[in-house]
Amino acid sequence: MDADPKVAIELRWGIEMHADNAGQYGQTAMDLMARFEIPPTPHNYLVWYSYAAKENAALLRTIDILIADGRTFTDAWCDDLYFQFFGQADDAAILSALAENMEESLAGTIAQILEASADTSQFGSALSDVKGKLNALTDAKDETKALVAALLTATQRMERRTLKLEQQLNQSSSQIQDLRNDLESVRTEALTDPLTGIGNRKAFDNYLREKAMHAMEEGSDLCLILCDIDHFKKVNDQWGHQIGDKVLELVSQCLTETAGSQAICCRYGGEEFAFIVPAQQLQQACDLADILRLALCEKCVMNRASGASVGTVTMSFGVAQFAFGEPLPSLIERADTALYAAKHNGRNQVMSEADIPKEPGDQIAIAG
């Protein structure tokens, strides 16, 4: 089970995630960022929220020194602060929790102000009515009229201040919503392979955990396909890394379009891709892998700059089926073993865990 980001932030930096101070810390962070002309990015917000909370002594000391020295908080300085203190953290989840708490806090505060504003407005109307009646009376004392007039003036002044505070809080609420939108972008970028546009290794890990849990809960099948481009190093060596990148893009596009909704495709690393195949048994997943293999064999890669043919790209595939309750690294290991068996057996083919020798002495020697 994933750690609660609210707990994680307390463990890492000791920042209390209570609604009664989250709004105060958040507004202080926004004010400081505006004062020092710091862009309100998610990373910068995390740094300055932590500074406002005064719980991270090292961060507090560092920023205080920078302020005392009159340093300008350039983008480079801001990046250094983030990576020095938070570079290894799951900042998207933590910032999302911060934003959620601040929104709850601000929503409660705005509701209270609106209620107080309504009461103040009613009180002001009542005083205005009393003033009108007093002015109509010939025997009302001047002191009484002056007192009511002063109270009415003070009430009107308070109404204006309340309205201004309400506007400021609404603006802060809008800023927080913008921050949450930025966080969604950060989260998407963190799970996307920048070259191919499909899920990266982190996304794969998340999807596999999710689908394995669902399979156990529903008693349904789940398979994993790992595939690797054959002789990809030769493509890079002969044609250069730019052509190699184009090959990866082509392969990604072909695989995802062919698989469609049957499987989740991610870039596992380098020239290796992974497919998480829900609700399919081992043979069905092998059939899908062969469909993917054949679809790719039909593609011919061309060098647009020279018009030369790079050739046909082939892939080797390894398939394994999830056993309920097993550690996920075991599933990955079996699929990976089947993949390298396919490479050892001549490449451009599909092998499953069922094809792997089970005897201890029948280990497969993998060539490079």
**pLDDT tens digits, one per residue of 46-101:** 889 889 888 788 888 888 888 887 878 888 788 878 877 776 455 555 555 555 65
Answer whether residue 147 shows pLDDT above 90.
no
On the 0-12 / 13-18 / 19+ scale of CB atoms within 10 A, 205 is middle
Answer whether residue 174 shows pLDDT above 80.
no
The structure's pTM equals 0.57
Mean pLDDT of 126-143: 57
Quick one: tokens of 309?
């043919």
Catalytic residue IDs = 271
pLDDT in tens, 86-129: 764 555 555 555 556 555 555 555 565 556 555 556 555 655 66
Answer whether residue 352 shows pLDDT above 60.
yes
Lowest mean pLDDT across 141-155, 273-287, 314-328 = 141-155
* Selected residue with higher pLDDT from 157 and 214: 214
Q: What is the DSSP string of 85-149?
A: HHTTS-HHHHHHHHHHHHHHHHHHHHHHHHHHHHHHHHHHHHHHHHHHHHHH-SS--HHHHHHHH
Domain coordinates of the chain in residue numbers? 1-190, 201-362
CA-CA-CA-CA dihedral for 107, 109, 111, 112, to nearest 10: 170
Answer whether residue 10 shows pLDDT above 80.
no
CATH assignment of 201-362, among 3.40.30.10, 3.30.70.270, 3.90.1150.10, 3.40.190.10 = 3.30.70.270
Lowest mean pLDDT across 24-33, 128-137, 203-212, 344-353 = 128-137
Report which of 288, 279, 275 is spatially closest to residue 224, judged by C-alpha positions: 275
pLDDT class of 336 with cuts at 50, 70, 90: very high
